[in-house]
């Protein structure tokens, strides 16, 4: 196990961890529902199916959840709890890109530990769009406000603020928007790649001048791509050359 993998375990866990207790009935309902919503979709899954897989009656589910919509929202709120813990930790850390690198390193591991929920989100977007809860919107706003406050801090250098914005946007876009497209990538490998990407975005190192290597069209070897001249995009350069 490498150093980064060791850092990725026990995210936001607090005290030394012991053997986890057996999940409660409520959590078992959510776990079964999560698998069904991924496999069959929210609309085609029923409370009866969830109850049958758990070995008890549908009435027992109503003791914990008033409806299937409540189950979907509870699954979604698992992600909010991850975000809430990250935001609380952000408020305790010194401002700057270095702190964000450590925080996002932990957040990536925490989010990937709940990777199934992101797959469920992607496969049931219409169901989530129809859910509108005041408490849900309030949590969204709280997390968003904290992130906006950190990135909008004028005391930080613009370089740090831009890198922070790119990094946090990249993490959430990768998992929330494109997570299902990356389902073939093993979780451990995806975590390592995302850690590297966040590190690249937040690293304090100068841009390297000179040509950038890229694969040749024929698939053999690499060809050099000319470095971009300051202030001139490749598209602008092509237009000026005509």
Q: How far is CA 124 from CA 33, 154, 184, in A?
A: 13, 39, 19
pLDDT in the model for residue 136: 60
pLDDT in the model for residue 18: 44
Q: 11-25, 160-174, 217-231 — which is least confidently predicted?
A: 217-231
How do residues 144-183 score in pLDDT, each as one tens digit?
888 888 889 899 899 989 998 999 899 988 988 888 889 8
Measured distance CA(97)–CA(105) in Å, rounded: 12
Residue with the bigger pLDDT between 91 and 166: it is 166
pLDDT at 28 over 80: yes
Q: Which of 74-78, 186-190, 214-218, 234-238 has the highest mean pLDDT?
A: 186-190
Q: 50-64, 94-108, 164-178, 220-234 — which is least confidently predicted?
A: 220-234
Domain holding 123, by residue range, is: 75-205
Q: Is residue 224 part of a domain?
A: no
User: Across residues 90-107, what is the average pLDDT?
Assistant: 81
Q: How far is CA 45 from CA 33, 75, 76, 118, in A?
A: 8, 15, 17, 18
Q: 110-114, 139-143, 150-154 — which is least confidently predicted?
A: 139-143
Tally of domains within the chain: 1
pLDDT at 8 over 60: no
Q: Is residue 145 part of a domain?
A: yes
Q: Is residue 43 part of a domain?
A: no
Q: Is residue 28 part of a domain?
A: no
Q: Which DSSP string do the residues of 100-150 spell out, in sequence order?
A: HHHHHHHHHHHHHHTHHHHHHHHHTHHHHHH---HHHHHHHHHHHHHHHHH
Q: Is residue 218 part of a domain?
A: no
Q: Is residue 226 part of a domain?
A: no
Q: Is residue 6 part of a domain?
A: no
3-class secondary-structure state, position 37: helix
What is the DSSP code (8-state) at residue 21? P
Q: Is residue 154 part of a domain?
A: yes
Q: How far is CA 149 from CA 95, 121, 145, in A?
A: 11, 27, 6
pLDDT at 239 over 50: no
3-class secondary-structure state, position 213: strand
Write down the mean pLDDT value for the chain.
76
pLDDT at 92 over 60: yes
Measured distance CA(166)–CA(170) in Å, rounded: 6
pLDDT in the model for residue 138: 59
User: Across residues 57-72, what is the average pLDDT?
Assistant: 91
């Amino acid at each position: 196990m490498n150093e980064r993998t060791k850092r990725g375990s026990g995210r936001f866990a607090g005290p030394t961890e012991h053997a986890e207790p057996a999940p409660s009935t409520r959590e078992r309902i959510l776990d079964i529902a999560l698998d069904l919503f991924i496999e069959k979709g929210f609309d085609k899954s029923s409370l009866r199916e969830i109850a049958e897989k758990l070995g008890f009656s549908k009435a027992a589910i109503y003791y914990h959840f008033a409806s299937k919509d409540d189950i979907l929202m509870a699954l979604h709120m698992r992600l909010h709890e991850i975000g809430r813990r990250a935001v609380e930790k952000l408020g305790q850390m010194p401002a700057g890109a270095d702190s964000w690198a450590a925080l996002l390193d932990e957040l990536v591991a925490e989010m990937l530990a709940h990777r199934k929920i992101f797959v469920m989100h992607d496969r049931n977007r219409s169901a989530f769009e129809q859910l509108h809860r005041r408490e849900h919107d309030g949590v969204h706003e709280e997390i968003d406000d904290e992130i906006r406050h950190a990135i909008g801090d004028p005391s930080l250098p613009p370089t740090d603020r831009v890198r922070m914005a790119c990094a946090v946007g990249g993490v959430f876009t990768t998992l929330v928007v494109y997570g299902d497209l990356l389902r073939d990538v093993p979780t451990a490998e995806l975590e390592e790649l995302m850690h590297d990407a966040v590190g690249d975005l937040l690293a304090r190192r100068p841009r390297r001048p000179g040509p950038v290597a890229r694969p040749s069209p024929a698939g053999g070897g690499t060809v050099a791509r000319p470095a971009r001249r300051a202030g001139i995009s490749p598209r602008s350069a092509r237009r000026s050359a005509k």
